[in-house]
Amino acid sequence: MGLFDKFKRIENSLKDLSQYSDSFFNVVLEQIISSTEAVINGKTTILAGTNNYLGMPHRKECIDAACQAIKEQGTGTTGSRMANGTYAIHVELEKELSHFLNKKHTIVFTTGYSANLAVLSTLVGPKDVVILDADCHASIYDGCKLGGVQVYRFKHNDVEDLEKRLKRLSNKADSILIAVEGLYSMLGDRAPLKEIVALKKGYNAYLLVDEAHSLGVLGKNGRGLAEEQGVESEVDFVIGTFSKSLGSIGGYCSSDYEKLELLRFASRPYVFTASSSPANIAAAQKALEIIQKEPQLRTRLWENAKLLYSRLKEMSFTIGPEPSPIIPVRFKEIPRAFAAWNGLLENGVYVNMVLPPATPDGTALLRCSLSAAHTTEQVESIARAFESIKNLA
């Protein structure tokens, strides 16, 4: 046995899939034109698969803030938050996030992935139970695995199935943590958070909500699904990332529990990972400020999302259950999905191709994500590109 023999199945799968597309596994954004356009294969292409919900990466204010931070504080910290990697700017952002989210305590991590890894590997342990939505992100699963906690899944957004597990497990663990997402990254649907909160209270459990895709997108002030559904005070732990609406790199956990601060001393991804660069933190700070000052960005985002959703629905594509900035177009056959993806790229539109096992039900899907930075004309161009491949659906 060689070290790489275990990857034979992946190697074979890649060979099988390569027959459908020469470029799928080698997409390179050769030149970034804006938040909504790039050059791919030498051709100007509309980007409709980036998670860039509010267009922050190309906002002049964010770029200027990042450049100034580099000039004043350097390109990197060269140390973890526990060593020399906590700068004043990290502490400032933690305070600003706490204020924005109406939580008492916030810890900033190097990425959103490491935030979930850090919190879930440390907060719960072998004598506890995590009950998570089956469609939760891989980082939630990985955090639970690292912590050695007992994990039980409930059917996606199925409150009855969640309650069955709570009934069965409520007396078999020291503590129960329910983990869900605000806006799910594949289907673009929301968690039934009010109903989940009611169960959480009834069974004396804790609740963690990953608002990675809903920060800046949902809620009157952009705080996420918990704000939209009026249950913020009932969410024990809010996880988020800077890499979507904030257009940077980093992650956070916010909570009203004072003892959250103890995770700084117990969490391996916090103690042993270099902290976020000053440029990333400064860009996230400025983006957070803009989100609060410009609610019209959310309005624009949802106008674009509803427009494309309605266009795709008119064409009879099989799409997500509700309008959302994340719009999945589903295909039962992988070859057809590849043909559709190639067709869109030929028509100047890039979307994400998502294949099993990353998809919820084992089918392939083309994942569109809209941005406030898209113009109406660009959204209509995306719709026309889909019209050109609707025979493949």
Q: pLDDT for 22-40, tens place per residue?
A: 777 789 999 999 999 999 9
Q: What is the pLDDT along the chain (393 residues), one digit of tens a residue?
A: 789 999 998 888 888 888 887 777 789 999 999 999 999 999 999 999 999 999 999 999 999 999 999 999 999 999 999 999 999 999 999 999 999 999 999 999 999 999 999 999 999 999 999 999 999 999 999 999 999 999 999 999 999 999 999 999 988 899 999 999 999 999 999 999 999 999 999 999 999 999 999 999 999 999 999 999 999 999 999 999 999 999 999 999 999 999 999 999 999 999 999 999 999 999 999 999 999 999 999 999 999 999 999 999 999 999 999 999 999 999 988 999 999 999 999 999 999 999 888 787 778 999 999 999 999 999 999 999 999 998 887
C-alpha span between 56 and 36 (Å, rounded): 11
Say if CB 260 and CB 105 are below 8 A apart: yes
**Is 35 designated active site?**
no
- Whether omega for the bond prior to residue 357 falls within 30 degrees of 0, making it cis, is yes
Amino acid 239: pLDDT = 98
- Furthest C-alpha separation in the chain: 61
**Is 185 designated active site?**
yes
pTM for the model: 0.95
Tokens 């030929």, located at residue: 346
**CATH class, 74-293 region:** alpha beta
Amino acid 33: pLDDT = 97
Q: Which of 105, 109, 107, 116 is nearest to 80 (CA)?
A: 109
Q: Which of 296, 321, 323 is nearest to 307 (CA)?
A: 323
**Kind and range of the H or E element at 266?**
helix 263-266
Q: Where are the domains of the chain?
A: 5-58+295-392, 74-293
Catalytic-labelled residue, pool 35, 121, 185, 276: 185
Say if CB 131 and CB 158 are below 8 A apart: no
Does the domain formed by 5-58+295-392 have CATH 3.20.20.70?
no
Catalytic-labelled residue, pool 213, 248, 275, 374: 213
Tokens 């002049």, located at residue: 60
Instruction: Compute the residue count for the chain.
Output: 393
For 259, other C-beta atoms within 10 Å of its C-beta total 9
Hey, do 5-58+295-392 and 74-293 end up sharing a CATH topology, with the first three levels equal? Answer: no
**Is 293 designated active site?**
no
Nearest-10 crossing angle of helices 112-123, 138-147: 30
C-alpha span between 116 and 189 (Å, rounded): 20
Say if CB 24 and CB 339 are below 8 A apart: no
Catalytic-labelled residue, pool 90, 103, 156, 244: 244
